Amino acid sequence: KILLSLKNGNLAAFEKILLLYEDRIFNYIYHLVGQKQDAEDLTQETFIKLYTHIKTIDVNKNFLVWLYKIATNTVYDFWRRKKNKKEILLDELQNLETIEAETTYLNIEKQEVIRDVQNALAKIKPIYRTVLLLFYKDNFTYKEIAKTLNLPLNTVKIYIHRAKKELKEKLKNGKAY
């Protein structure tokens, strides 16, 4: 009902959607880009795109998958705007200090594990990082990831397998740094 209302341009419905999903989308984007300001900007951009494409919502399909697709494409556009992949990795590594500062409530051992995983995630291909975050952090199914990223289902399965293998290798061999 809220989606139909949203599709018909009801601003109150848009505000409800924003309240329901803004934090979730922000967290997803933040884990992809690693910098709070960029994540805030990209979250705002995602919801602007949602609002401008309101008429294309298919109320019979999974809205959340569609919203994550917009968020993912917004992040990909952001990465494309960066000059090169090395710059992305350097930015992400520099931003890990910020992430670490925000997790001071954790004990040192947990912080080290988190840092190692974040560093390793920053070193794997962006598509691998994306599928892992969707699968593990956001609990998307293979099918939902495929729809979100416009990939064949088998490709998603392969990417998740390769991503886990590559992440495990980087953590095992200490190549996270």
Q: What is the pLDDT of residues 99-131, one digit of tens each?
A: 555 545 445 566 677 777 888 888 888 899 899
Which 3-state string (H, E, C) describes 74-124? HHHHHHHHCCCHHHHHHHHHHHHHHHHHHCCCCCHHHHHHHHHHHHHHHHC
Which pLDDT does position 116 carry in this prediction? 79
Instruction: Express each pLDDT in 52-84 by its tens digit.
Output: 888 787 777 888 888 999 999 999 888 887 655
Residue range(s) occupied by CATH 1.10.10.10 in the chain: 84-177
Q: 114 versus 162: which is more confidently predicted?
A: 162
CA distances from 86 to 11, 48, 97, 122, 164 (A): 41, 29, 18, 11, 22
pLDDT band at 90 (very low <50, low <70, confident <90, very high): low
Angle of helix 63-81 relative to helix 36-52, nearest 10 degrees, comes to 120
Q: Which CATH class is domain 84-177?
A: mainly alpha
What does pTM read for this prediction? Answer: 0.61
Residue range(s) occupied by CATH 1.10.1740.10 in the chain: 1-81
- The share of the chain scoring above pLDDT 70, in percent, equals 81
Distance from C-alpha of 79 to C-alpha of 87, rounded to nearest angstrom: 10
- Do residues 65 and 148 touch, judged by C-beta distance below 8 A? yes
Mean pLDDT of all residues in the chain?
A: 81
Reference 175, options 122, 126, 111, 125; nearest CA is 122
**CATH architecture of structural domain 1-81:** Orthogonal Bundle (1.10)
Which pLDDT does position 102 carry in this prediction? 55
Among 19-28, 114-123, 154-163, whose mean pLDDT is lowest?
114-123
